[in-house]
Amino acid sequence: MPGSPCLIGLPYDASSSFLRGAADAPPAIRSALHSPAGNWWTEAFQDLSAPGGLMDCGDLVLPPDASARPLIEARIGRILDDGGLPIALGGDHSVSYPVLRALGPRYPDLTILHIDAHPDLYDQFEGNRHSHACPFARIMEDKLAARLVQIGIRASTRHQREQADWFGVETIDMREWSAGVRPSLGGPVYVSIDLDGLDPAFAPGVTHPEPGGLTVRDVISVIQTLPRPLVGADVVELNPGRDRLGVTATVAAKLVKELAGRMLG
């Protein structure tokens, strides 16, 4: 039997390189999840409000500095020890690194599926090795995954392309996606979704919108066809201050529900 998916809010954006605001995302996503405009059923007819469905482990209280990382790692470790399957609500994308520091060593053959407009593979960005532009360089340096597969990429740089080659990252950029290329994955899988991987027509409330991206249905279809087990996930980079109508929070909540449903089988 799979464990229960568990929301854990990580209200941290001190590693953002442009604008702050992602720290306010967890309550915005929860509000969308609990909105009477929707319900708790997945598209596969799983009732996430039923016993053994989607749990909520609350939000961490995180300082706006490097001391947040060990707090995140420790809390994710406790969720895993209790048999939970963490769905982390960022927060900026730097939170993925401490999450994977807790989870990765438990799954030596782990595959990470990373959905994003950006590779987030800088060795350092503006002098910061823990910028939200760098988490997957740290993850791969620490050998926290056997495979890293990235889809939706459309705002890379030569340095990041070289980093991807160095780490053996499997990249499906938007040109390849549009040509019909799809990932071939095996479990166990961790999914990291930066909401700017979606086209800003569908997810405008992000700090770094990049035109030409994935549709909501693209991402849902990827989630629904993931191999099992799905052992963890994060949904990051919602900036509620730029999400005037709450559209992006609603998208994030939809993705959380489908991730939880896939974890449950």
Per-residue pLDDT reduced to its tens digit, 224-260: 999 999 999 999 999 999 999 999 999 999 999 999 9
pLDDT at 1: 42
| Residue 246 CA: distances (Å) to CA of 88, 189, 202, 228, 234 | 19, 29, 11, 31, 19
If DSSP codes are grouped into helix, strand and coil, which group holds residue 230?
strand
pLDDT at 2 over 60: yes
Q: What share of the chain is helix, strand, coil (3-state, %, to 5)?
A: 35, 20, 45
In total, how many domains does the chain have? 1
Mean pLDDT across the chain, nearest whole number?
A: 96
Distance CA 132, CA 17 (A): 7
The structure tokens 């939880």 sit at 260
Distance CA 28, CA 13 (A): 15
Q: What is the pLDDT of residues 104-148, one digit of tens each?
A: 999 999 999 999 999 999 999 989 999 999 999 999 999 999 999
pLDDT at 245: 95
Read off the amino acid at residue 42.
T
Average pLDDT over residues 197-212: 97
The structure tokens 């919108």 sit at 209
Question: Cis bond leading into 26, ω under 30°?
Answer: no
Distance CA 52, CA 59 (A): 20
Q: Would you call 247 exposed, middle or buried from its count of C-beta atoms within 10 A (0-12, 13-18, 19+)?
A: middle
Q: Which domain holds residue 22?
A: 5-264
Report which DSSP code applies to 194: E
The structure tokens 């059923």 sit at 41
Report which DSSP code applies to 129: T
Read off the amino acid at residue 203.
A
Q: What is the pLDDT of residues 20-62, one digit of tens each?
A: 999 999 999 999 999 999 999 999 999 999 999 999 999 999 9
| pTM for the structure as a whole | 0.96
Give the count of beta carbons closer than 10 Å to the beta carbon of residue 36: 5
pLDDT at 187: 83
pLDDT at 18: 86
The structure tokens 């209280």 sit at 61
CA dihedral 73, 78, 83, 85 (to 10 degrees): -30
Angle at 158 between CA 157 and CA 164, to 5 degrees: 90
Read off the amino acid at residue 78.
R
Q: What is the pLDDT of residues 172-181, one digit of tens each?
A: 999 999 999 9
- In this structure, the chain runs to a length of 265
pLDDT at 98: 98
Buried b (16+ CB within 10 A) or exposed e, 18-28: eeebbbbbbeb
Q: What is the pLDDT of residues 63-99, one digit of tens each?
A: 999 999 999 999 999 999 999 999 999 999 999 999 9
- Whichever domain contains 193, its CATH number is 3.40.800.10
